Amino acid sequence: MQIKTLRIDPQWQSRLESIGYGYHTLDGIPYWVDDYYYEIRNRDADLIYNATNELWQMCIDAVEYIIKNKRYQHFHIPPFMIPHIERTWNDDEPSIYGRFDFAYDSVHGELKMLEFNADTPTSLFETSIVQWYWKNHYFPQLTDQFNSVHERLIQSWVELKPYLKGDILHFSCAKETLEDLTNVEYLRDTALQAGIETKLIYIDDIGWAGNSFVDLEGEPILSIFKLYPWEWMAREEFAVHIINDPNQAQWIEPSWKMLLSNKAILPILWELFPNHPHLLAAYVNGPAHLKHFVKKPILSREGANIEMYYDKQMIYHTEGEYGEEGYIYQELANLHREDTGFSIIGSWIIGQEACGISFRESDMPITTDQSRFIPHIILH
């Protein structure tokens, strides 16, 4: 697994914009990297594929364990949401997607799970569409890519379609969020290709009609995909209607994903699968025996409020607004490093199967919303 460089296409920005990718540059700094890429081997792809599928099953086992044993205390989930979580789990409410973030230690060939973006993972459009078009632009011949995201999404919607409530699947995100809207519209397009009737409504515009959630035309919302975190929804004014909704609207991702999108899942996984080769040691009440560790808020996003310790001395940290809900302590991972920066691997699980990867690169060893997206190819 190594970085390779290209002679950049001088029209790369307009090429990306022509396929609907408008946030390739943030504040004048490229977020999308067009002129270098990761070249991986088939065995790297196989390692990531197998690890992702295995970890997904471990996560499912962990949810079952938490619910069965009422292990909610460290998740800081509002108590009124617990029955909803349990109902959606017991009713087998479907999940469409998630993204594991991995550290890859190229020296030892080890792949370690950093966390699981189980509720509102983004960079889906870049992974599925943008890097595929990038590959076909620079490598039009037989070059391969670990990327069947598009096909898996359509197939997942096809399989889900008979179980949707109502005739319309609403799609939602917050207003004025270009990245979220791009991801939602892409997901909506794949649902349309699966033969599902869809409708876009911003989360800000969802109404409550006394006996159901409604869209701006007053149509009941019975099934809805939302790119909006459950922990935020649970604190909204209308949250009580989620549990009192007579229609029991079908939210995708379902509320049982609150257990997996919360970093308190990491110590649970370590407790259930101690010393598993793809897990890092993780604890709730302190770093235990760890000398090198990372302190993470259980609900932080985009690398905010992370503290990194080496020999129990803090060596790096990020600012942010998280931490009130508590922290977990995770063994410090060895990140893959090139001259261009530190990289982590995002591995997508869609419809119960690993199906694609993305690389995010940072100047410092914590991935944030400023981290770059790097495409890849598989070297045969």
pLDDT at 300 over 90: no
Question: Do 85 and 214 share a domain, yes or no?
Answer: yes
pLDDT in tens, 176-197: 888 899 999 999 999 999 999 9
The rounded distance, in Å, linking the Cα atoms of 20 and 164 is 28
Question: Do 325 and 350 share a domain, yes or no?
Answer: no
Q: Does residue 198 lie in a domain region?
A: yes
CA nearest neighbour of 122 among 202, 182, 53: 182
Where do the H-state alpha helices sit in the chain?
12-17, 42-69, 82-90, 124-125, 131-138, 149-160, 178-193, 230-233, 239-244, 265-272
Question: Do 188 and 324 share a domain, yes or no?
Answer: no
The rounded distance, in Å, linking the Cα atoms of 170 and 201 is 7
Q: How far apart are the first and last CA of the chain?
A: 12
Question: Do 197 and 312 share a domain, yes or no?
Answer: no
What pLDDT band is residue 161 in, cutting at 50, 70 and 90?
very high
Question: Do 108 and 59 share a domain, yes or no?
Answer: yes
Question: Do 102 and 13 share a domain, yes or no?
Answer: yes
Q: Does residue 108 lie in a domain region?
A: yes
Q: Does residue 273 lie in a domain region?
A: no
Q: Does residue 271 lie in a domain region?
A: no
pLDDT in tens, 7-61: 989 999 999 999 999 889 888 888 999 999 999 999 999 999 999 999 999 999 9
Amino acid 26: pLDDT: 85
Question: Do 87 and 138 share a domain, yes or no?
Answer: yes
Owning domain of residue 308: 281-331
The rounded distance, in Å, linking the Cα atoms of 124 and 108 is 29
Question: Do 206 and 324 share a domain, yes or no?
Answer: no
pLDDT at 303 over 80: no
pLDDT in tens, 220-240: 999 999 999 999 999 998 899
pLDDT at 324 over 90: no
Q: What is the domain count for the chain?
A: 2
Q: Does residue 270 lie in a domain region?
A: no
Amino acid 47: pLDDT: 96
- 3-class state of residue 245 by DSSP: coil
pLDDT in tens, 66-120: 999 999 999 999 999 999 999 999 999 999 999 999 999 888 889 999 999 999 9
pTM (2 decimals)? 0.95
Question: Do 16 and 151 share a domain, yes or no?
Answer: yes
**How confident is the model over 138-162, as a mean pLDDT?**
93
The rounded distance, in Å, linking the Cα atoms of 20 and 1 is 30
The rounded distance, in Å, linking the Cα atoms of 62 and 59 is 5
Q: Does residue 14 lie in a domain region?
A: yes
